[in-house]
Each structure stands twice: as C-alpha cells, then as structure tokens.
C-alpha cells in the first residue's frame, strides 16, 4: 500500500525553493499521488486475490480474466457456482477416500499383449450404457456417491447390455442409506463402493436424486425393487493399467485435487494455470477433492501447438461446466498427473458374472476379481493392509466410524504452491 504521508512529503519537498510554478506543480503531484493511491487501495480491495480469498465469488470477473490470461484452457462463468464463493466451495468439497484405501486389493487386469489405443471414449464404445446428461450436485456434497453410482451402472450395462441398457443407479441410495458416511456433508469413495457390495443400489427411478441437500431418509426409496450388488471392488494404479481396465470393463472413479481455476473450466485441456490456487479446507488442512468418472483419454492437437494427451472425465457440476459436463484433464507428465489425480489411481466396481456368458474381463474367461497375485496388481497407496475379510462386522464398523470422523485419508501434495484458505 502506498504511504500517503510520504507522497505528500515528496511533493512538498519537490516544490520548495523552485518558485510558485514548481510549488504549484508539487501540489498537483501530491494530489495526484493521493488520488492514485486511493484508486490502488480500492483496486486491491476489489481485485487482489490476497484480500480474504474465501470471499471471492467463483464466477468473479477477476478470477475468470486471470485464468484467461494464462491462455491454457477456456474459462467462463459456471451456473453451478452462481452465488457461490470460494468458501462455499471449500464447504462443498468434503469428498475423499478413507485411510483404509491402501488395503483395497488391486484389480485383475487383462493381459498386456495388445497396445492401448491413442484415444478412447466410453460414450462411443458403449452408447447404450452411458448416461446422456451429467448430474448437478448443487448444494449437496455428493460427487463421491454420484461418480460411484454412475460408474457401477455403466459396468452393469457393459457386462449385460440386454438386461441393463440405459441403466441409471441412484446415488441417493448411498447418500441416504449408508449410515457410516455423511450424506450431503461428504463421504469416502471407497466406502461408497463397499456399500454397493454389501447393500447394493436401486435405480434412479426408484430413489430420485435430491440435489439441494435436504434430509432424505432411506425409507423414502421404493420398496418393490431389488438392489443391484457388486461382487467386489478394487483399485487400479498407474496410467496404462487404468486405461486397460477402462478399455475392457468400463468407466472408473478417480479423485481430482481442486484448484480454483478448475471451477470455471469451460473447454480445452485443463492443467492448473500459473496463477492457480488449490482449494484447502481450513479445518482439516486437506486439499479439496472432487470425485469424477474417468470415461476415456485422447490427444489434443491444435494448429501451431504441441500435442497434449488428456484424460476424459465426467463431472457432477451440471452441463454448464466444461463441455456438457465433460472435461479433458492433462496427462503424460507423471508428476503433474499426481498433483491433479490423487496418487494417479482409480476405484472400480466388479460386477457379478452373467449366467451362461463368458467374461473376458479377467483375461481367461472368468469374471475379474481383486487379486494380489500375477493376475492382478496389488496396490499399496498408503499402507495399512486392511481387508474387510480380516475383520468381523464390529471391527469393520469401528474402523469406518473412525474413518468418517477423520479427514479424508490421502497424502498431502507438495507444499510449495499457493492455496486458497
């Protein structure tokens, strides 16, 4: 901030001993300096990101113009965040994975004989299966449930398109019926998958999504529908294994670290801009996370620019975010990917085998199952080694209650970047 006393003193000194003309000039400089300083002060309060960042509206012109100046991707106001500040985003970003994700076994993957294609889009590969319109979570912290339910529905349809064409499973089942999680206050993606194994999910028609965060009880779902249950769930770690799993079995769920410029993404290949800030929960001191459905990958080629590989993801911030709810996230730089994709892993559901139908998901005609042997990839993201089969129900309940009470368990990233607090 400009020191006004120094400005006036300098102007006064400038005019002394140099006649009335210079004295008059000094007063002009002094008055002009005061005016400029006042204007700068107002601009600092209005525009400077250092002013109480949590009070900045997400759709603020300053934020959007700042992103556009980086010229990395397209940005603009997003309807989902209308009337939302960055503080609201922090409150609505309590999505995560539990501290026990490290004990979830790796997925059995098909043989690595065939090369992975340069581009793949699950929407084109399985047009009868993937939901046409994206969800809008609105005031409900529910990406952890939405991405889980949506990816599971896709995999049921891909496994048996005759029975499950156009299937939409209800994330509200998880939000309202999983008492071990926090409903619209947030939850853990791996816990949502575990619920799909133990309790199962009903259809969207049976239990419609309530996006406004209202208190919807489990008893409000229809009573004449049998839930669909997963056989198990597993984790895939690393870019190529993630691709091979999605190519064979369908979309999976990843956790993205949320930067402020990601909120106003409208198109192009996203990577955090030079002036971006990570959103941080001031209480838990964890980075805000968003669960997304990974539906493919590709390479962006623009005239006069270097090619940029990307992941194709489906978000739950409505059709106005990205391109009808779909985004392209930069890939190819492992360090950068780990800053965006939490530890570069996905969580995937394993659907029951279809009776009388050979499954090629495991590479040998059998249904894929979590495995730590040569058929699969045992993933140790955070240590722990916890498996539900090792514990009785009371011990599992105690562990999950502890997980829900703690912050979403994940490794902190590098601390050398600015954050929004």
Give pLDDT, residue 25.
38
pLDDT tens column, 130-158: 977 899 999 899 999 999 999 999 999 99
- Give the count of alpha carbons within 13 A of 199, CB side only: 19
* pLDDT attached to residue 312: 97
Query: What tokens does 270 get?
Result: 């996203």
User: Is the model's pLDDT at 184 over the cut of 60?
Assistant: yes
Give strand pairing partners of 350: 232
Per the model's pLDDT, the better-predicted residue between 386 and 100 turns out to be 100
User: What average pLDDT does range 398-421 have in this prediction?
Assistant: 41
Helix (H) or strand (E) segment spanning residue 347: strand 345-350
More confident of the two residues 279 and 254: 254
- Say how many C-beta atoms besides its own lie within 10 A of residue 343's C-beta: 19
Contacts of 141 (CB under 8 A, 6+ apart): 91, 92, 93, 94, 95, 182, 184, 185, 186, 187, 213
Element (H, E) at 249: helix 239-249
* Percent of the chain at pLDDT exceeding 70: 67
> What ranges do the domains of the chain cover?
4-48, 55-420
Question: What SS3 state is found at 177?
Answer: helix
Count of Cβ atoms closer than 10 Å to residue 334 Cβ: 11
Distance CA 384, CA 397 (A): 17
Other beta carbons within 10 Å of 176: 21
Mean pLDDT for 182-208 is 95
The residue whose two tokens read 């010229």 is 71
Distance CA(74)–CA(266), nearest Å, equals 5
Whether residue 367 contacts residue 175, with contact meaning beta carbons closer than 8 Å, is answered with: no
**Residue labelled with tokens 């960042």:** 53
User: What tokens were used for 154?
Assistant: 């896709």
Asked if residue 204 has pLDDT above 80, the reply is: yes
pTM of the model: 0.75
Predicted pLDDT at 39: 38
Residue count of the chain: 421
> Containing H/E element for 310?
strand 308-314
On whether the 55-420 domain is CATH 2.60.40.420, my answer is no
| Tens digits of residue pLDDT in 253-272 | 999 999 999 999 999 999 99
Distance CA 56, CA 88 (A): 10
- Residue 37 CA neighbour count, 13 Å, CB half: 14
Task: Say what the pLDDT of residue 405 is.
Answer: 43
More confident residue, 336 or 352: 352
Q: Is the pLDDT of residue 198 over 60?
A: yes
Q: How far apart are CA 316 and CA 330, in angstroms?
A: 19
H or E element in which residue 40 lies: helix 19-47
Which span out of 167-171, 333-337, 408-412 was modeled with the highest average pLDDT? Answer: 167-171
* CB-based contact 230:186 (threshold 8 Å): no
Q: What is the pLDDT of residue 80?
A: 93
Under the banding of pLDDT at 50, 70 and 90, the label for residue 88 is confident
pLDDT digits (tens, 9 = 90+) for 352-403: 987 655 444 433 333 344 443 333 333 333 322 223 333 344 543 444 444 3
Task: Round to the nearest angstrom and report the end-to-end CA distance of the chain.
Answer: 22
pLDDT of residue 185: 87
pLDDT, averaged across the chain: 76
pLDDT average, residue stretch 120-128: 96
Task: Pull the structure tokens for residue 390.
Answer: 């090792």
Q: Is 382 in contact with 409 (CB distance < 8 Å)?
A: yes
- Across 74-80, average pLDDT: 93
Instruction: Give the start-end residues of each E strand in 197-250.
Output: 232-237
Contacts of 400-407 spanning 24+ positions with Cβ under 8 A: 400/98, 400/180, 400/191, 401/180, 402/99, 403/98, 403/99, 403/100, 403/188, 403/191, 404/98, 404/180, 404/181, 404/182, 404/187, 404/188, 404/191, 406/99, 407/96, 407/281, 407/284, 407/285, 407/286
- Of residues 337 and 401, the one with the higher pLDDT is 337
Check residue 208 and give its pLDDT. Answer: 96
Determine whether 398 is exposed, middle or buried from the number of CB atoms within 10 Å of its CB (0-12, 13-18, 19+). exposed
Higher pLDDT, 180 or 90: 180
Weakest-pLDDT range from 11-20, 286-295, 316-325, 350-359 = 11-20
pLDDT-derived band at 284, boundaries 50, 70, 90: low
């Amino acid at each position: 901030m400009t020191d006004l006393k120094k400005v006036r003193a300098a102007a006064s000194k400038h005019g002394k001993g140099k006649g009335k003309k210079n004295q008059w000039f000094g007063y002009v400089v002094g008055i002009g300096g005061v005016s400029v300083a006042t204007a700068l002060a107002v601009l600092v309060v209005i525009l400077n990101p250092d002013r109480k960042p949590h009070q900045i509206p997400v759709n603020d012109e300053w934020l959007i113009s700042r992103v556009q100046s980086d010229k990395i991707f397209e940005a603009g106001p997003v309807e989902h965040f209308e009337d939302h500040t960055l503080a609201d985003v922090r409150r609505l970003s309590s999505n995560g994975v539990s501290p026990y994700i490290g004990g979830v076994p790796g997925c059995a993957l098909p043989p690595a004989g065939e090369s992975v294609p340069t581009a793949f889009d699950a929407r084109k590969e399985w047009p009868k299966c993937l939901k046409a319109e994206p969800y809008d979570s609105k005031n409900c912290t529910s990406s952890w449930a939405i991405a889980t339910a949506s990816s599971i529905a896709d995999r049921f349809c891909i496994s048996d398109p005759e029975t499950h064409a156009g299937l939409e499973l209800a994330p509200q089942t998880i939000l309202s019926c999983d008492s071990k999680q926090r409903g619209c206050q947030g939850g853990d993606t791996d816990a949502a998958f575990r619920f799909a194994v133990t309790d199962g999910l009903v259809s969207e028609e049976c239990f419609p999504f309530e996006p406004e965060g209202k208190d919807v009880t489990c008893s409000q779902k229809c009573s004449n529908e049998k839930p669909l249950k997963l056989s198990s769930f597993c984790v895939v770690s690393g870019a190529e294994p993630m691709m091979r799993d999605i190519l064979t079995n369908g979309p999976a769920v990843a956790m993205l670290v949320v930067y402020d410029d990601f909120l106003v993404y409208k198109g192009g290949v996203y990577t955090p801009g030079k002036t971006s800030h990570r959103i941080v929960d001031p209480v838990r001191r964890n980075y805000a996370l968003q669960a997304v459905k990974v539906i493919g990958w590709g390479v962006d080629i623009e005239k006069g620019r270097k090619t940029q590989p990307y992941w194709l993801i489906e978000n739950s911030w409505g059709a106005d975010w990205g391109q009808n709810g779909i985004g392209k996230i930069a890939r190819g730089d492992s360090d950068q990917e780990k800053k965006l994709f939490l530890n570069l892993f996905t969580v995937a559901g394993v659907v029951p085998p279809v009776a009388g139908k050979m499954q090629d998901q495991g590479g040998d005609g059998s249904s894929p199952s979590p495995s730590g042997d040569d058929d699969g990839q045992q993933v140790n993201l955070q240590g722990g080694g916890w498996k539900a089969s090792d514990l009785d129900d009371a011990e599992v309940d105690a562990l999950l209650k502890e997980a829900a009470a703690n912050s979403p368990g994940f490794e902190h990233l590098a601390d050398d970047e600015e954050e929004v607090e």
